[in-house]
Chains A and B, each alone.
Chain A
Amino acid sequence: MTYGSSLAPHVDRPSEAEPPVRAGVLYVGMDLGCYKTSVAATNGTREIVHSIVGWPKDPVSRKMLGKDIVFGNEAYRHRLALDTVRPFERGALKYVDDAATGIPKEKLGRYKLAARELVHYVASLCRPPRGTLVYGVIGSPARASILNKQALIDACKGTFESVMIVSEPFAVAYGMNQFEDTLVVDIGAGTTDLCRMHGAIPSDEDQITIPKAGDYIDDCAFKLIKERHPSAQFTINMVRDAKERLSFVNDVDDKAMVTWPNREGRPTSFDITAELKEACRKIVPDIVEGLRELVSSFDAEFQRRMLQNVILAGGGSQLRGLDRLIEEDLKQYGGGKVVKVHEPDYAGANGALKLAADMPEEYWKAVN
């Protein structure tokens, strides 16, 4: 497959007469998340942006924003003035087919365009010098289909000179040099990916994708809060924000207090501790069940060792006490040790970058 020119000429807009000069290589690792996208590059760039693309709703908003297309955090901030698309929401393009996402058919083209634009924007944050070859490794959910992976490759066309797709939990494990007897749990927004590392590249049997992750917690918390605090006025974004700031799943005396408007619009304090905790705990049984499945189907001799090395990554791993709660649940299978990665938001991108940097030059040419 041939790609368009590398990203650099697009960014710097060289004149047509100027022949492209290929000097140097920039390796990029990208974790395209349903909610946020993180990127790391060999020139030291590390960015995290909202996976959102927006087009001004009308000439007024176009005039206000001064742009025809808005990305990331800026699009999130001005989302009311924009027609926004989260290209990877509900697993779109990433791990389910288009019908399963529930997205209307007429909008699918826009999702693909948004994905392409988002990848281009995120890569441009790495500021590759003109003429630099940009090679990228992109993380995809563990059990993404061929079509989903191809959709990601298509989204990268014109941005990267060459691109490779790897499973997200494998990228995390690679980044941490954990190749043996390790179980990686990558809790994102759309999916929780589990991966068994046993010294070889994980196959399908070594990986599980659970469609319950951050978004599922938000939905559950939203319903529970709506039910128990009917007088509160809030949106799913406000619930997500509260979850990111205040969530914990262990039994501590902390309180999750939020100040939201009540029916009359007056700011009121609401105690949402129980609701958040209940919602956050809902993903734990599936994770433990997934871990059990991966361990029990593995060589009996190594099962115990594997349970002693469970790594939690992704934004969802930041839920306070989640590691201890999983450890508690693993006691029924003889106990285990769960540790969180150092940088949950960047673990996938860092791993992908490490893979990209280690990849021999000829492989980049051979893959196309």
Chain B
Amino acid sequence: MRFLPLPGEPTAGIQRIDVEGMIRQASTRVRVDHLVKTGKKYIHLLSRAIVDDLINRSVRTIVDKHRLATGPRTAGIEEESRTEFEELLLQYQQTTDATSAVEHSRRMIEQELPKESPPANDRTALAPSPGGVREIAILQKRMEKLLAHVATMEAALKTLSTAKTFSNQQVQNLLRELGLAQEDKNFEKKKEMLKIVLDTNQGIRQKARELAARGITLEAPEERAVFTDAAESLSDACSRSSV
């Protein structure tokens, strides 16, 4: 702990506490003859150095006291921080590994590409053999297919990223196209069920219209048990359509 630096004293890095100012603020200025008048013959004097020392001591005591009180918690926090740090480090390492793997793959592809498909002017210079020409043509076709696939993927991703509200169907189709969709083992079963749900709902509407035409409503239900039967609705619908 230091007093305010004297003029010319370096100030950087010093914690400034204006002890003098604080004492001045906290104390009252009294004339000596006034004290004498009030019967005070002896006055205790306290030097600045001692005030400084006292402040230092009390600060140290408080800090020590708090350190003792928060000791175990600090240890816990340290332990937690260490674990978290290790996790983060691991994640970072994994990310770095993944990035380097991607970079490696990219380099490999770049190395492979010129081999598979040399630029047009190189091709003339190389003057490939008749067998080689066929191979190059096949590779070119494959490349075209790959590029088309990449373009589709890019378009799909663009659609996904720009659309404000997606249709789930659309998203699923795009994900399937990208090979990211998890295949549903019940897909076929669900497809059939959805068709039946549609047929049943169409049946409900059709039958309700017929009942309404006959004057049968909830208020006046002539036939109480007109339950939905998917099969019945379907057969009814079919017979009607055939007629």
Contacts and interface: CB of A to CB of B under 8 A. Distances in A.
Nearest to B233: A146
A222 interface: no
B219 A145 contact: no
A357 B217 CA distance: 32
A143 interface: yes
Contact of B228 (A24, A25, A204): A204
Contacts of A26: 165
A145 B167 contact: no
Nearest to A149: B204
Interface residues of A, number: 46
Interface of B is mostly: helix
Given A132-B165, A150-B208, A151-B218, A355 B194 contact: yes
B196, B205, B207: most-surrounded residue (chain A CB, <10 A): B205
Given A144-B228, A145-B225, A24 B201 contact: no
B186 interface: yes
A26 to B, nearest CB: 7
Nearest to B231: A203
B148 interface: no
B204 A150 contact: yes
Interface in B221-238: 221, 224-231
Contact of B219 (A98, A203, A355): A98
A24 B194 contact: no
A99, A164, A201, A366: most-surrounded residue (chain B CB, <10 A): A201
A42 B171 CA distance: 12
A101 to B, nearest CB: 10
Contacts of A18: none
Contact of A201 (B186, B193, B221, B224): B193
Contacts of A105: 219
B228 A145 contact: yes
A358 interface: yes
18 contacts: A23-B164, A23-B165, A24-B165, A26-B165, A97-B221, A98-B221, A105-B219, A129-B164, A145-B227, A146-B228, A147-B208, A164-B198, A164-B201, A200-B193, A200-B196, A204-B228, A360-B194, A361-B167
Interface of A: 1, 23-27, 42-43, 93, 97-99, 105, 108, 129, 132, 143-151, 153, 164-166, 174, 177, 179, 199-201, 203-204, 355, 357-361, 363, 366-367
